[in-house]
Structure 1
Amino acid sequence: MARATPLSPLPLRFLPFVVVVVVVVVVLGTSHGQTSIPRRYDGFTYGGAAAWDDSVVVEAFFDPLCPDSRDSWPPLKRAIERFAPRVSLIVHPFPLPYHNNAFLACRALYIAKKLNASSVYPLLELFFKNQENYYNGPTTNMSRAAITEDISKLAVRAVGNSLLADFLSGFQDSATDQAARVSFKYGCSRGVSGAPFFFVNGFVLPDAGSPLDYDTWEGILEPLLETQSGRAEL
């Protein structure tokens, strides 16, 4: 009987690519197989704007603990405030798996939304300002309970100091866990692979993972608004 020829081992240089492919397949498979359609569109609208209503829609996928997401926010915020209400913004939380506390930070945004909807963006800015406190290194020897308590104490500066107990209990609420999971899976379903990641009117912008400065945003948005004002409604 002929014996099967043993397969040669996979060259090590291909290993990182294989790992990435496996992770993406698992995430997308889980996304389609286990996540039901949420009752509302993912993310947080900025400034109470009615996104989709006769405006250019910018979608940003941010990790609250990502330095590039932090650096992306001021120029994007400036551009949105300049062009509002003709431009709307939705921020989707997207916790990067190599930031150990990013998922907790994204959950915190949903807890804030539940307790005080107007506090979501102030809390996001607090995370950006204090994110170094929650990097992997400084929290290596902290328990999960200690980290959630520290995040909660930071969060109530935006949500309201009297709500510390309520904020802490929000981390026991499965709904906030599910909301953060949906945000991550939603990003994966749209091909998001890092942060920051931007879409304008549903089309992905190049240079994913890198901050865009104000001049770049101005160069993207102004032509769209000029075209929008110069054509008849369809």
Structure 2
Amino acid sequence: MSKRTAVIVISLLAIAGFVAAALLYKGNQSVPEVAAPVKANSALVRFNAPSFGPAKAPVTIVEFFDPSCESCRAFYPIVKQMMAKHPEDLRLVLRYKRLHVGSEEAIRLLEAARKQGVFVPVLEAVLESQPLWHDDATAAAAWEAAAQAGLDVEKAREQAMAPDITAAIERDAEDAQALGVKGTPTFFVNGKPLPSFGAQPLYDLIKSEINLSR
């Protein structure tokens, strides 16, 4: 594949992601409610939560995320594109919220992948395969996809039950409740919730915060 063809394919995939997110938003009757503003001293960001981008970036996006959530899957390429467009300005912090039958199993899988240093490829494989394991308590297809992405499954199944992962899952659940997070994905940008749920409101708030930081 030529470089030009690759760029075109990536662009088309990004556009498709926007369309998918918009359709999910319009057609999904369980769209996340807009969260309340967050106080500066809240537990919005935990030091050991998964994060991407510069630690000192002027804008921090916090996403409460469920790997079994279809809207989270649709938003992933959108957020990834935003991060790529503003690599020095944005930091993304993921927080977990369990909403589906297979959610906790998938979260434990992802945290084991983080221990093995393969979090991103495994996350992308798990999201891509989501239709095959959505609401499966064992998340069997997610484990299969993770293995293809480089996860040592035998080791990961043991790691997934580590006390620190259990503590992180419970901590995120407590923080989500304290912050009034009821659905996923729920975004905060520099502590500010979206004025309304959707890809464009997220982009607009991110751009506004970037401009304020300059």
TM-score by length of 2: 0.70
Match of 1:221 among 206, 209, 212: 206
* Structure 1: runs of 5 or more not aligned: 1-36, 230-234
Structure 1 runs, 4 residues or longer, greater than 6 Å off: none
Asked if residue 71 in structure 1 is aligned to residue 70 in structure 2, the reply is no
Asked if residue 43 in structure 1 is aligned to residue 49 in structure 2, the reply is yes
Identity %: 23
Asked if residue 93 in structure 1 is aligned to residue 114 in structure 2, the reply is no
Counterpart AA for 1:227: L
RCO higher in structure (CA 8 A, sep ≥6): 2
* Structure 2: runs of 5 or more not aligned: 1-42
Note the 1:183-222 alignment, pairs <5 A. Answer: 183-207=172-196, 210=197, 212-213=198-199, 215-222=200-207
**Corresponding residue SS for 1:58:** strand
Task: Report how far residue 168 of structure 1 moved.
Answer: 1.7
Task: Report how far residue 148 of structure 1 moved.
Answer: 5.7
**Cα distance in 2 between the residues matched to 1:74 and 1:179:** 25
Counterpart AA for 1:219: D
Equivalent residue, structure 2, for 1:9: none
Alignment RMSD (CA, Å):
2.2
Counterpart AA for 2:123: L
Equivalent residue, structure 1, for 2:112: 111
Note the 1:127-146 alignment, pairs <5 A. Answer: 127-136=126-135, 139=136
**1:56 and 1:200 in contact (8 A); partners too:** yes
Equivalent residue, structure 2, for 1:153: 144
**Cα distance in 1 between the residues matched to 2:204 and 2:81:** 13
TM-score by length of 1: 0.65
**1:94 and 1:106 in contact (8 A); partners too:** no
**Cα distance in 1 between the residues matched to 2:142 and 2:57:** 37
Q: How many positions carry a matched residue from both structures?
A: 170
Equivalent residue, structure 2, for 1:59: 62
Structure number, greater radius of gyration: 1
**Cα distance in 2 between the residues matched to 1:197 and 1:166:** 32
**Cα distance in 1 between the residues matched to 2:162 and 2:211:** 46
**Corresponding residue SS for 1:191:** coil
Equivalent residue, structure 2, for 1:17: none
